[in-house]
Amino acid sequence: MGKRRIYLDNHATTRVRDEVLEAMLPYFTEKYGNASSSTHQFGWEARNAVEKAREYAAQFIKTAPDNIVFTSGATESNNLVIKGICDSTQEKIHIISSAIEHDCVLEALNSRAGVCEFTLLPVNKDGIIDIEALEKTIEKNTKLISIMFANNEIGSIQPIKEIGEICKERNIIFHTDAAQALGKVDIDVKEYGIDLLSASAHKFNGPKGVGFLYVNRENKLIQLTRQMSGGHQENGYRSGTLNVPGIVGLGEAARLINERFSDEFWHLFQLRNSLYDGLFNNNLAINLNGPSIKEDIANSEKNKEKTSAQEVSRMLKRLPHNLHFSLDKIQATDLFSRVKNIAMSSGSACSSDTAVKSHVLLALGLDDHKISSSVRIGVGHDNTKEDIEESIADIVSVLKILGVTL
Amino acid sequence: MSDINQKLLDTVRSVASGSDGNRRNIVYIEGGYYDTRFGPTDFSFNTLNSATQTANELIKKEYNITRVSLGVLINNIGISCGEDVCVIPTAREMKPDQNDATVPDSLEEILKNTKIQKSDQIVTNERTLRNRGIRTARIIADNEKEYAIEKDINNKGETLYNIMIDGKKIPLAIRKDEKWAARCPLIMGQHYSDLYIKFAKKYGKNVGQILIDMSDMYDRHKVNNGAKVAFLILKSIYGYDTSNLKIINFSFGDDELTQFEEDITIN
């Protein structure tokens, strides 16, 4: 019998919470109506469930329900934004994004390279864009700024509020991919000046294959050309029969976090910090990538008594559940192959079919060795103190055997 | 008998019975893979134990296998590379004994206790394979028009040589000026093709060859791509028919060998 499995790859995906699964099940078996069917009870109950979920999703980002468009996830939402805006005009528009966006944003931009211009902002060593550089990049025809809320590898959180303010001043649409941040950091779209926001349910303990796009309907500059023709669901933004069980699951996952944000936040933050301390205080030859965790801890300690978890989360420079480091002397697979029971990931796709080196780590200026030896850890809702203690003990012991010591 | 041993026997039985009825078959089973920087791991011991136990069973008459060989592959070049990230330790980083390609006592003990003769135990090291692989890469590169080669340039200005097999781009080698480095699929392709040639010379071109390799799940794509490269090397460079060859790769997700995937590569 092998060692028990510990899942520390919660940036890739998360486990569906029991309450979420329970909420979804009736919509597969008893309440299986099409939410677009308006002539019978099956359709009405499906529609009601979808609208309830829409309310929960809206509360998640502090907006009105009719600003929520359900999609299959953040990838689709991001594609709809980039392609939808480029396709909505005959004029040559300019878009600003960053070098560390998710591939779906970068590829969507590339797909419209002939009809719109785009600039990818570099990031500093912590993976954060420079606001002054952003302002200097704005051109007369800049129509959209698309900057991710937080990075999926190194967890760096961008200065979203400042970007939102610039966009409002300059009449530019502001889109953010919040797939990794939602549920981990308190987000108020109005306060942050966000016009479009992409999310995926499976990143916050909901099901896979469902997500949403927030569309600020008050901003009349926003014109999204639909990317799928057909049934005119979701006010024409997204045709296709609604994934009712998935949407119900998304809503329930959002509701649970809305209700218990503080517990969830401190749980993740403390587990990640314990893991960080356990690994970095053991004389190992490892280097943190991305923003300082010590500074986030110090800031939270300073403000813990007088502010809420929501406010502390807004001060962070790094996602509360993220840890990313590179190993000296060995490669990530040398570690992974010796602790197979602990799920972690790396910035170099060692077993993929294609040649892949993380563009995010390249943008940080990391060399080949630092990329191939990089380890990404994301703690999650289901992790316990024991998981973290066991992981520290196993990882430290293996790294010491492999000679990854100072 | 453990599940994996039973699975290995079932696989050999099924593959051997599926081949030409009159054809004799030989089986080669490899386990015990380890990196000389770190020495053998639980995975090395468990795969070699499994290989030897299966080999001991296969020599029984009922299986009708002409010859059973055992093998150990030693990683003495320090690569556990990604698809385009091959960070090879410098000579300074490798201690002298890390180049050693002799099987350590702990694994030797397992080999001693098998019924397979010493002459049928094959120890191979990746340093030799890498050097042989480079020669193969050069032959392919010199006759580029005969192969579906795709070249990329990386951020260091090195040329990445890839070969297209069944619509898949498989990395072969990296070249900077006259310096070459073999990539993992080429190293494994060289390994399987060397074994095939060795057995073909020893037992004849018509004998059925079943080569079984046990690897880590992380290496699944590399070894499977290696198997494809082996068929290419054997057919295109050495002119072998290869219809008598089957390469079977077991990739394990745990050290206890309970979670695994099986891939069979044929002509």
What are the CB-based long-range contacts (under 8 Å, 24+) for A304-308? A308/A262
Q: Which residues is A377 bridged to in the sheet? A: A323
Q: Which of B80, B85, B253 sits opposite A340 (nearest CB)?
A: B253
Distances from the Cα of A401 to the Cα of A313, A330, A338, B48, angstroms: 37, 11, 10, 22
- Which residue of B lies nearest to A348 if distances are taken between CA atoms? B82
Q: Would an 8 Å CB–CB cutoff place A115 in contact with chain B?
A: no
For residue A305, pLDDT beyond 70: yes
Distance from CA of B78 to the nearest CA of A (A): 9
Q: Would an 8 Å CB–CB cutoff place A333 in contact with chain B?
A: yes
Average of per-residue pLDDT values in chain B: 89
Q: What pLDDT, in 10s, does the model give residues A315-333?
A: 999 999 999 999 998 889 8
Label residue A352 by pLDDT band (50, 70, 90).
Answer: very low
| pLDDT at position B177 | 87
Residue A350 annotated among the catalytic residues of the structure: yes
Q: Which residues is A68 bridged to in the sheet? A: A214
Burial A251-285 (b: 16+ CB within 10 A, else e): bbbbbbbeeebeebbbbbbbbbbbbbebbbebebe
| pLDDT at position B11 | 93
Strands (E) in A294-381, as ranges, are 322-327, 342-343, 374-378
* H helix or E strand, kind and range, residue A288: strand A286-288
Identify the three-state secondary structure at position A240.
coil
What number of other Cβ atoms are within 10 A of residue B135's Cβ?
11
For residue A81, pLDDT beyond 60: yes
* Stretch A235-254: mean pLDDT: 94
Q: Would an 8 Å CB–CB cutoff place A402 in contact with chain B?
A: yes
CB–CB of A357 and B41 under 8 A? no
* H helix or E strand, kind and range, residue A96: strand A93-98
Considering only CB atoms, which chain B residues are within 8 Å of A348?
Answer: 82-85
Q: Which of A2, A338, A349 sits opposite B258 (nearest CB)?
A: A2
Query: How many CB contacts within 8 angstroms connect chain A with chain B?
Result: 78
Q: What pLDDT, in 10s, does the model give residues A371-387?
A: 989 999 999 999 999 99
Place of tokens 């980002």: A61
| pLDDT at position A355 | 43
CB–CB of B255 and A353 under 8 A? no
Contact A327, A401 (CB under 8 A): no
- Which residue of A lies nearest to B225 if distances are taken between CA atoms? A353
For residue B34, pLDDT beyond 80: yes
Share of chain A above pLDDT 90, in %: 87
Distance CA A396, CA A78 (A): 39
- Which of A3, A328, A350 should we substitute to test contact with B (largest number of B Cβ atoms within 10 Å)? A350
Distance from CA of B66 to the nearest CA of A (A): 35
Contact B121, B71 (CB under 8 A): yes
Report chain B's terminal Cα–Cα distance, integer Å.
Answer: 32
Return the HEC string of chain B.
Answer: CCHHHHHHHHHHHHHHHHCCCCCCEEEEEECCCEECCCECCHHHHHHHHHHHHHHHHHCCHHHCCCEEEEEEEEECCCCCCCCCCCCCCCCCCCCHHHHCCCCCHHHHHHHHCCCCCHHHEEEEEHHHHHHHHHHHHHHHHHCHHHCCEEEEECCCCCEEEEEEECCEEEEEEEEECCEEEECHHHHHHHHHHHHHHHHHHHHCCCCEEEEEEEEEHHHHHHHHHHHHHHHHHHHHHCCCCCCCEEEEEEEECCCCCCCEEEEEEEC
CB–CB of B87 and A401 under 8 A? no
| pLDDT at position A350 | 40
Distance CA A147, CA A145 (A): 6
Place of tokens 């350590």: B104
* H helix or E strand, kind and range, residue A211: strand A211-215
Q: For A72-81, A334-343, B191-200, which range has the lowest pLDDT when averaged over its residues? A: A334-343
Distance from CA of B151 to the nearest CA of A (A): 12
Q: What pLDDT, in 10s, does the model give residues B227-262?
A: 999 999 999 999 999 999 999 999 999 999 999 999
CB–CB of A354 and B83 under 8 A? yes
* Stretch A118-138: mean pLDDT: 97
Distances from the Cα of A352 to the Cα of A47, A376, B69, angstroms: 41, 17, 31
Catalytic pick among A104, A116, A167, A350: A350
CB–CB of A351 and B221 under 8 A? yes
| pLDDT at position A18 | 98
Distances from the Cα of A157 to the Cα of A92, A106, A258, A360, A361, angstroms: 30, 18, 21, 14, 15
| pLDDT at position A348 | 61
Distance from CA of B86 to the nearest CA of A (A): 8
| pLDDT at position B207 | 93
Q: Would an 8 Å CB–CB cutoff place A99 in contact with chain B?
A: no
For residue A211, pLDDT beyond 60: yes
Burial A107-118 (b: 16+ CB within 10 A, else e): ebbeebeeebbb
Q: Which of A330, A337, A371 sits opposite B85 (nearest CB)?
A: A371
Distance from CA of B189 to the nearest CA of A (A): 16
Phi, psi of A69 (to 5 degrees): -115, 120
| pLDDT at position A353 | 36
Rounded to two decimals, what is the model's pTM?
0.88
Q: What pLDDT, in 10s, does the model give residues B142-199?
A: 998 889 999 988 777 889 899 999 888 999 998 988 889 899 999 999 999 999 999 9
Distance CA B229, CA B194 (A): 12
Q: What pLDDT, in 10s, does the model give residues B76-129?
A: 887 555 444 454 555 555 555 666 778 999 999 999 999 999 999 999 999 999
* Stretch A97-105: mean pLDDT: 96
Burial B146-169 (b: 16+ CB within 10 A, else e): ebeeeeeeeeeebebbbbebeeeb
| pLDDT at position B98 | 63
For residue B42, pLDDT beyond 60: yes
Distance CA B196, CA B26 (A): 11
- Which of B85, B158, B217, B258 should we substitute to test contact with A (largest number of A Cβ atoms within 10 Å)? B85
Q: Would an 8 Å CB–CB cutoff place A350 in contact with chain B?
A: yes
What amino acid is encoded at B130 in this protein? R
